[in-house]
Amino acid sequence: MNIKVELPGLSLKNPIIPASGCFGFGREFAELFDIEKLGSIMIKATTLNSRKGNPTPRVAETNGGMLNAIGLQNPGVDYIISTELPWLSQFNLPIIANVAGSSVEEYVEVAKHLSTVDNVKAIELNISCPNVKEGGIAFGTDCKVAAHLTEAVKRVSCVPVYVKLSPNVTDIVQIAKAVEEAGADGLTMINTLIGMKIDLATGKKVLANGTGGLSGPAIKPISIRMIHDVYKQVSIPIIGMGGIQNTNDVLEYLYAGAQAVGIGTANFVDPYICPNIIEELPYVLEQHGFKDIKDAIGYTHRVKLD
Amino acid sequence: MKLIEDMKIVKNCEIAKNIYEMTLTGDNVKLMNQPGQFVNIKITEMSQLILRRPISICEIDQEKKQIKLIYRIKGQGTEILAKKLPGEVINIFGPLGNGYPEYSIKNHETALLVGGGIGVAPLYELAKRLSRRKIKVKSVLGFATMTDVFYEKEFSFYGEVHVATIDGSYNFNGNVLDLIKSKNLQFDVIYGCGPQAMLKAINDEYINLKKGYLSLEERMACGIGACYACVCDKANKSTETVRICKEGPVFKLGEVEI
């Protein structure tokens, strides 16, 4: 069974990629399993300067999901280039570097530097973080703004650029088309949905930030629908994510049109989820009658209606 | 060896009001060899309650391949946990974090163990180990009220025990710090675990006077330092943070902002 996937800039031995912010820079999980088994890693969002993030509590559990408001805590691009990426280079692993910022200039600067690092094979443009006051999602909810940023980053990046879309929009297809036209090489979708949890005993919001991004199985149907709709309207590849918990979920994403998938919250539930899915995927594809993963991608769009 | 195992429940019973003691057995017990570490528990296979629950290890018995955990019913997750029966299995990730450094105290010195509420639990294994080394152990256990009190007798096997209740319904009336001062308890190294206000009070009181270690708590997700949910500030350096699950949960007195 072939489960290799070729995407712009990325030769993936399998389509399983830990999603940004859910896997740090791989160090913690490398203590648990051989991370070289992974298709790639989407490393934690990188900004120009180090960011301390939001006050705690930063996470809250909700039915079938969790809210987080970490606030892009990261050590800044220089540290990541001097320390984290060289450490990751000991593994035969293409890295997808998630880039965040609060201005076009910041995104451009960070992307420019990260894209020159050897093991960074693609940039994931984070225009959808809901947990920072400036930037983040503000770049991902307006077609013109998203397109302008994509163009600016494309101009400086030495590697393909995947734009991470926000589901917190009226029509995600319009944003997808706008960034495709602006030169995006691929899409990753979706980021978290903005949510809130209130403590009944105190009446206060549970998260110190007030709102947070909802992830986990609760959001999977939304992501599946969005990928399904976007797949029909764009021709660049999609890496799908949102609530994947097992190998069947991966198959559903492939059917909807994703060529590879990000695993996020599930890493917190079962730290061995990625290697487990990688092991199971060939058998699940075979069970469903496929001989190559390529035949499963977009399958739903080819099934004839009765 | 995977750090994750379906461990079997040997016993699960209420030992004080809404406080439960769960005994588990499994092969991964042999990895658990430090007082103050925790495990991250998957409450149910159903995905409604998605996050694991971090619970500190109360006692380790290598011979029987058993550990004890103590938890308080606080929400949906711990309610389900309390209904589990012996023979059932539960998915345990751990041991995680850095516990109390056992050799932080010399053999002739005196240890003061200060636990507040459910924070009493991780100090028990520490008491056992310190007393095995003939170190003098004094324990101060603080609770809100009489019906919350647990492990008074268990701690007494390893040294003198003082119990404080906030409402005065049992023994000393007041908080743990009031008790330590009013009884003029002498010690060399202090070890604490409990509510944030208690830890802050201990930290502020003894930061320049004593050596000590405090175990912190925060809402967690991954339990291994990847998600950055459970951070706190390093002392005097507000731009730097530490992860409670990874660098902690036990920190030196004065090491972090509480």
- Residue A304: predicted pLDDT: 78
- Residue A131: predicted pLDDT: 76
Place of tokens 């199985």: A217
- The boundaries of every CATH 2.40.30.10 domain in chain B are 4-96
A47-103 confidence digits (pLDDT tens): 999 999 999 999 999 999 999 999 999 999 999 999 999 999 999 999 999 999 999
- Residues A116, A158 contacting (CB under 8 angstroms): yes
Distance from CA of A93 to the nearest CA of B (A): 19
Distance from CA of A88 to the nearest CA of B (A): 15
Between chains, do A66 and B48 touch, taking CB under 8 Å as contact?
no
Q: Among candidates B254, B258, B249, which has minimal Cα distance to B39? A: B249
Which of B52, B229, B232 shows the shortest C-beta gap to A70?
B229
What Å distances lie between residue B241 and A50, A192, B78, CA to CA?
A: 12, 25, 29
- Residues A48, A78 contacting (CB under 8 angstroms): no
| Lookup: tokens for B214 | 């405090």
| CA pair distance A98, A16, nearest whole angstrom | 16
Between chains, do B47 and A64 touch, taking CB under 8 Å as contact?
yes
Between chains, do A271 and B222 touch, taking CB under 8 Å as contact?
yes
Place of tokens 């018995």: B61
- Residues A187, A163 contacting (CB under 8 angstroms): yes
pTM of the model: 0.94
Which of A53, A56, A271 shows the shortest C-beta gap to B224?
A271
| CA pair distance A229, A231, nearest whole angstrom | 6
Q: In which residue ranges of chain B is pLDDT below 70? A: none
Q: Among candidates A69, A105, A80, A101, which has minimal Cα distance to A27? A: A80
| Lookup: tokens for B40 | 């991250």
Look at chain B and count its residues.
Answer: 258
Q: Which chain A residues have a beta carbon less than 8 Å from that of B48?
A: 63-64
Distance from CA of B78 to the nearest CA of A (A): 13
- Residues A250, A169 contacting (CB under 8 angstroms): no
Residue A57 touches partner B, C-beta closer than 8 Å: yes
Which of the four CATH numbers 2.40.50.1020, 3.40.50.80, 3.40.50.970, 2.70.150.10 does domain B102-252 have? 3.40.50.80
Mutate to test the interface with B, among A63, A73, A268, A274 (most CBs of B within 10 A): A268
| Lookup: tokens for A156 | 């400086």
- Residue B99: predicted pLDDT: 97
Phi and psi angles of residue A252, each rounded to the nearest 5 degrees, phi first: -60, -40
Q: Which chain B residues have a beta carbon less than 8 Å from that of A216?
A: 47, 50
- Residue A306: predicted pLDDT: 63
Which H/E stretch holds residue B111?
strand B110-116
Q: Among candidates A150, A146, A126, A147, which has minimal Cα distance to A213? A: A126
Between chains, do A53 and B51 touch, taking CB under 8 Å as contact?
no
Peptide bond into B249 cis (omega under 30): yes
A213-227 confidence digits (pLDDT tens): 999 999 999 999 999
Q: What percent of chain A has pLDDT over 70?
A: 99
- Residue A104: predicted pLDDT: 95
Q: Which chain A residues have a beta carbon less than 8 Å from that of B239?
A: 50, 52
- Spell out the per-residue pLDDT of chain A, length 306, in tens: 999 999 999 999 999 999 999 999 999 999 999 999 999 999 999 999 999 999 999 999 999 999 999 999 999 999 999 999 999 999 999 999 999 999 999 999 999 999 999 999 999 999 988 777 766 788 999 999 999 999 999 999 999 999 999 999 999 999 999 999 999 999 999 999 999 999 999 999 999 999 999 999 999 999 999 999 999 999 999 999 999 999 999 999 999 999 999 999 999 999 999 999 999 999 999 999 999 999 999 999 999 776
Which of B2, B50, B224 shows the shortest C-beta gap to A265?
B50
Question: B-side interface with A, Cβ within 8 Å?
Answer: 2-4, 42, 47-52, 77, 93, 218-232, 238-239, 241, 246
B15-57 confidence digits (pLDDT tens): 999 999 999 999 999 999 999 999 999 998 877 899 999 999 9
Between chains, do B227 and A60 touch, taking CB under 8 Å as contact?
no
Which of the four CATH numbers 2.40.30.10, 3.40.630.30, 3.40.50.1970, 1.10.260.40 does domain B4-96 have? 2.40.30.10
b/e map A53-78, b = 16+ CB within 10 Å: bbebbbbbbbebbbbbbbbbbbbebe
Distance from CA of A174 to the nearest CA of B (A): 31
| Lookup: tokens for A61 | 């559990």
